[in-house]
Chain A
Amino acid sequence: MLKATLRSFLAHKARMILSALAILLSVAFVAGTLMFTDTIGKTFNDLSRTAAADVTVKPKKEFREDRLGKSGQQPTVPDSTVAAARSVPGVADAHPDITVTNVIVVDGKGKKVGLTSDPQVQAADWFPTKQSSVVLKRGKAPQGPGEVILDSDSADHNKVRLGDKVHVVAAPGAFDATVVGLADFKSINPGTTMLFLDGAAARDRLLGKPGVVTSVSLTAEPGVDQKELKARVVAKLGAGVDVRTRAEEADDASADLSQALDVIKYALLGFAGVSLLVGTFLIFNTFSMLVAQRTRELGLMRAIGAGRADVNRSVLVEATLLAVVGSTLGLLGGLGLAQGLLTLMKSLGVDLKGAPLVIEPATPIIAYAVGVVVTLVAAYLPARRAARVSPMAALREAGAPPVKSLRGRAVGGTAVTALGAIGLAVGASATKLDAAHGLALAGGLVGTLVGFIVLGPVLARAVIPWLAGAFPRLFGAVGRLSRENALRNPRRTGATAAALMIGVALVASLSVVATSMKDSVGKQIDQRLGADYTLESTGGLNFSHDVAETVRKVSGVSNVVRQRETEAKVLFDGSSETITVTGADPGIDAMLKQKYTAGTAPDGLAPGRIALPKSYVKKHDLGVGGTVTLRTPNGRTAELRVGAVIDDEGIGIASAGSGAVGLDTLAKLVPDLLDSVIMANVADGAKSSTVRAALEAALKPYPQVQLRDQADYKQTVQDQTNVILRLVYGLLGLAIIIAILGVVNTLALSVIERTREIGLLRAIGMSRIQLRRMIRLESAVIAVFGAVLGLALGVGWGVAAQRMLASQGLDVLTVPWGTIAAVVVGAGVVGLLAALLPALRASRMNVLAAISTE
């Protein structure tokens, strides 16, 4: 039996090529994602392991360090820590580190130095050791405040040479320096621009405060265990600082990194999911057709004594063989994909410098498991059908299988779809976002999807005659034949179209949500943004107070409103919660017109008061007049009275998990905060374009400050949505590619199945051109059918999701009709393309082989 199965697999291998391709694609995405993230993870972990000191003493980690740095509150430990740590037995050496990421480096042409348009910069004291990630390649070590070392990758990118001047914007202030040295990364370039100053200059220029350092690197004496040393250091220094071993530092770095990689990972797994889902249908169709074509053969096997289980097993073994072949190729494809992604990362500045791909043992296991499971699931029903073939089938005339009634399907499918639609409706009726409504929506999505898949054949019968209604008139007999062919096996047509339907539905819903989001945000900006100009920082550092002064001095500018931001803890009895506190000048109300459920903006921003969002107030059972206790990162606390409740979130001074206070209130708590946003209006009678030109000229010395008018502002926000849309279109592309494979697959197998019919048509006078047209039209109508179902489903999902999210600010519904029309037309074109090869093959068929009896 196994021999017969193997023979059959080999004999039909051409018919399985496309199924193998579908498995290949799915597995390649899964395997490629794993290899890529493992490689990046391992390489960075190795890097942080070598770069970290045996034990590091750091400030207590209460808030996100990058946010603190950006607002001008770099966390530090006192200098005394260095001496104290050095005195711990087992410490060979303790080095005071100055390392900050809140600097911006600009070259002589005013361009930011770095590998990307928004480079990450790390500035540190120059202290080369064995562990350093860089080594001085050219030039000399920096001495004094006017000299720096730059990493050579960034320098090369910006064509900065030894002796050139760079402008460095740091928290204490901006300064100019000469590049006296260039340093190379020893192993990999993590995509960060590195800047080094001598120790004293680093303290002065980067921290601006005497007597503090950002961390202390401890070297253990030989034979002293890191964990043991950590325990001793903790005992000596107490709980005011964080003490980390090398391994812990490396793990932290990995955790941070994997978080950063998550977006890429989930996007890629999304691709894998789509290709798996769509591929399942393709494999299902292949096996269904193979079983149908082999009915007599299977009947013969049954007649000569093979049991049902044998037949069932033989189909599943064939499926497993296919899965193994497809998964193996998929693993290879994954290698290519991972390599491609690493190359892509290189263009984003992260250069692994030829580090080998990491293939964890789990990767092939997962890859094969995915391939085999998906294939077996898809082949399960066809295998069962094969097992049901009676021995009598061997004797019967091979012909069209009896058409089973679709009534069961119609009833079941309609019921499931209706349940799903109710779920969608319940989700859409949500007035606030909560788990119950979310669950209803999710259930609705699954229900309608399953319902549509079940209903596919029924809908094919209903929709295709209509879609292809004009075919007979336009294309005569050829048109009629193609319409009938698309309809003759509704199950097959349904399953083929389902592949496209799923892809199109996913994309249509995402695109409805994304365009709605774009328009909702646009509407919010129109309604709320009163500021003519908005200034924000583009780097890792907000801007100094002189920017606001500069803006005020520009003629034609009126009403300059500043905002500052800090992280803070709201203290409750026995617990605390981190929120972002925005401090704003009194004029903010005119710049950001927000609604308040209680109080007004002046109430909320008055001294000693705070304005909180509705959701926050509700969560903690507060109200106007209630008090909250804030603790800022510098350790000060203040009791603030709730002065106003902000009605809705979104564009405004306070979003979820944040509060707003008057600028003076915040300045009293945290005196050295930098400005995060400046808003300004054009004075009455001043010309907008003149003012803009004047502003731009005045802001020349501040290259990190981005000036945007309302249109720019809208564009920036919409660009963020466009990134999502681009991903969505990527998904569409992939779904379409696999769906094309599905249509090609079905057509190719149909052509083989209809060999005799095609021969007959040729014998009685159908030309090759007509035959090709017949197959192309059939293909196009199936593809358009799938797209129409997918759009119906996807737009339904998108609308439901938008309704549900309406309370979250997504209150404008935009259905992208242009995109929808394009998808329908595109599906037709895709159908025509998919038919190219099968049509060619059909038209080349030998008339005689087709009509002669066996």
Chain B
Amino acid sequence: MSPGNRRRPPTPTSPSGGPAEPDAYRRIDHEDRAKGSAASARGLTKWYGEGETRVVALDEVDVEIGRGRFTAIMGPSGSGKSTLMHCLAGLDSVTFGHSWIGDTEITGLKDRDLTRLRRDRIGFIFQAFNLLPTLTALENITLPMDIAGVKPDKGWLDTVIETVGLRDRLKHRPSELSGGQQQRVACARALASKPQIIFGDEPTGNLDSRSGAEVLAFLRSSVNDLGQTIVMVTHDPNAASYADRVLFLADGRVVDEMLSPTSDTVLARMQRFARSAN
């Protein structure tokens, strides 16, 4: 990942070289944006570096993430899939364009508001290092609520813990849990605060296939049974097959989309990418 920093890059000229017209973008965006999506983006552009070394990570991406859906974002390395997720989740700043969580535009929010938004409305599952080593599994699960200073909803917490099947592991520290168990704790944490949307960044990337399948099945069921919205970045066609919809990214653009994917159809699509790239 580029050593991006929290400062926004200076206002650039438009990608075509002419002057930028942010107002025009914004007007169109507001008109076109579908109502009721859990997250969305319009003209999302992200550059790293400047001048000669400039890298376009996202190139005017438009995305809608449906509520209560399980969306996978796929693409080869460097396609911008992780960047897209980071920008959608308010973890990274954008060069141009806009993105929303629900009806709240997050581009332009101050750090304090972004932090609160992440805390109250977004859940995260990362590939590795999801848990604080000093806290027990239960403490890790309730951490976002503890930070917010709110009492967790007891009943809901029970449901979540039951669903991830970790009741006998709650007092353990992460170092005493297997990789799969750790990711399940991370899932439970993401769910426990009832976020509007959960972002997963290769959540099964470090797991063996059996643990990975467990975690994915669990994510799937939380969408089916609890109505949770999940966006997951992955490069694994099998993982993507658990989603309702797959977005394919290449060179910073959304190039394709697939509904009701299976591992085979996703794999086939990915192979087409590889061939076209060659």
CB distance from B193 to the nearest CB of A (A): 9
B residues in contact with A478, CB < 8 Å: 147
Expressed in whole angstroms, the Cα–Cα distance for A853 and B86 within the complex equals 13
Instruction: Let me know if A252 is at the binding interface, CB within 8 A.
Output: no
Instruction: Let me know if B127 is at the binding interface, CB within 8 A.
Output: yes
CB distance from B180 to the nearest CB of A (A): 15
B residues in contact with A761, CB < 8 Å: 132, 147
- When each residue 45-58 of chain B gets 1 if its CB lies under 8 Å from chain A and 0 otherwise, what string results? 00000000000000
Instruction: Let me know if A348 is at the binding interface, CB within 8 A.
Output: no
Instruction: Let me know if B111 is at the binding interface, CB within 8 A.
Output: yes
CB distance from A775 to the nearest CB of B (A): 14
- When each residue 1-24 of chain B gets 1 if its CB lies under 8 Å from chain A and 0 otherwise, what string results? 101111000000000000000000
Q: Identify the stretch in A432-440, A506-514, A732-740, A840-848 within 8 Å (CB) of chain B at 4 or more residues.
A: A840-848
Q: Identify the stretch in A75-83, A337-345, A373-381, A763-771 within 8 Å (CB) of chain B at 4 or more residues.
A: A763-771
Expressed in whole angstroms, the Cα–Cα distance for A496 and B111 within the complex equals 33
Q: B3, A757: Cβ atoms under 8 Å?
A: no
A residues in contact with B1, CB < 8 Å: 848-849, 852
Interface residues in A, total, Cβ within 8 A: 31
Pick the contact of A849: B4, B120, B205 (CB < 8 A): B4
B residues in contact with A764, CB < 8 Å: 118-119, 124, 143-144, 147, 189
Instruction: Let me know if B36 is at the binding interface, CB within 8 A.
Output: no
Q: A768, B111: Cβ atoms under 8 Å?
A: yes
Interface residues in B, total, Cβ within 8 A: 37
B92: nearest chain-A partner, CB-CB: A848
Q: A849, B133: Cβ atoms under 8 Å?
A: no
Contacts of B26-51 to chain A: CB distance below 8 A = none
Pick the contact of B91: A481, A767, A844, A847 (CB < 8 A): A847
Q: A476-B146, A477-B143, A477-B146 are in contact. Are A760 and B86 (CB under 8 A)?
A: no
Pick the contact of A853: B91, B111, B116, B128 (CB < 8 A): B128
B135: nearest chain-A partner, CB-CB: A484
A residues in contact with B175, CB < 8 Å: 399-400
Q: A848, B147: Cβ atoms under 8 Å?
A: no
Pick the contact of A760: B5, B115, B132 (CB < 8 A): B132
B residues in contact with A488, CB < 8 Å: 133-134
Instruction: Let me know if B262 is at the binding interface, CB within 8 A.
Output: no
Q: A848, B189: Cβ atoms under 8 Å?
A: no
CB distance from A760 to the nearest CB of B (A): 6
Q: A760, B129: Cβ atoms under 8 Å?
A: yes
Expressed in whole angstroms, the Cα–Cα distance for A853 and B205 within the complex equals 11
Instruction: Let me know if B148 is at the binding interface, CB within 8 A.
Output: yes
A residues in contact with B82, CB < 8 Å: 852
A756: nearest chain-B partner, CB-CB: B129
Instruction: Let me know if A491 is at the binding interface, CB within 8 A.
Output: no
B residues in contact with A484, CB < 8 Å: 132, 134-135
Q: B5, A846: Cβ atoms under 8 Å?
A: yes
Contacts of B120-146 to chain A: CB distance below 8 A = 120, 124, 126-130, 132-135, 139, 143-144, 146
B86: nearest chain-A partner, CB-CB: A848
Contacts of A143-170 to chain B: CB distance below 8 A = none
Q: A765, B132: Cβ atoms under 8 Å?
A: no
Expressed in whole angstroms, the Cα–Cα distance for A770 and B118 within the complex equals 15
Expressed in whole angstroms, the Cα–Cα distance for A291 and B100 within the complex equals 44
B119: nearest chain-A partner, CB-CB: A765
B93: nearest chain-A partner, CB-CB: A848
Contacts of A464-494 to chain B: CB distance below 8 A = 476-478, 480-481, 484-485, 487-488
Instruction: Let me know if B275 is at the binding interface, CB within 8 A.
Output: no
Q: A844, B146: Cβ atoms under 8 Å?
A: no
A844: nearest chain-B partner, CB-CB: B6
A residues in contact with B210, CB < 8 Å: none
Expressed in whole angstroms, the Cα–Cα distance for A478 and B133 within the complex equals 15
Q: B115, A765: Cβ atoms under 8 Å?
A: yes
Q: A762-B115, A764-B118 are in contact. Are A851 and B129 (CB under 8 A)?
A: yes
Q: A848, B4: Cβ atoms under 8 Å?
A: yes
B residues in contact with A762, CB < 8 Å: 115
Q: A477-B143, A848-B4 are in contact. Are A763 and B134 (CB under 8 A)?
A: no
B residues in contact with A853, CB < 8 Å: 127-128, 205
B residues in contact with A770, CB < 8 Å: 147
B residues in contact with A481, CB < 8 Å: 132, 134-135
A766: nearest chain-B partner, CB-CB: B147
Instruction: Let me know if B112 is at the binding interface, CB within 8 A.
Output: yes
B residues in contact with A399, CB < 8 Å: 133, 175
Q: Which residues of B contact A (CB under 8 A)?
A: 1, 3-6, 82, 86, 91-92, 111-112, 115-116, 118-120, 124, 126-130, 132-135, 139, 143-144, 146-149, 175, 189, 201, 205
Q: A764-B119, A848-B92, A851-B91 are in contact. List 5 more A-B contacts (CB 8 A).
A: A399-B133, A481-B135, A764-B124, A765-B116, A768-B112
26 contacts between A and B (CB under 8 A): A477-B143, A477-B146, A477-B147, A478-B147, A480-B135, A480-B139, A481-B132, A481-B134, A484-B135, A757-B129, A757-B132, A757-B133, A760-B132, A764-B143, A764-B147, A764-B189, A765-B120, A766-B119, A767-B112, A846-B3, A847-B91, A848-B91, A851-B91, A851-B126, A852-B1, A853-B128
Q: Which residues of A contact B (CB under 8 A)?
A: 399-400, 476-478, 480-481, 484-485, 487-488, 756-757, 760-768, 770, 844, 846-849, 851-853
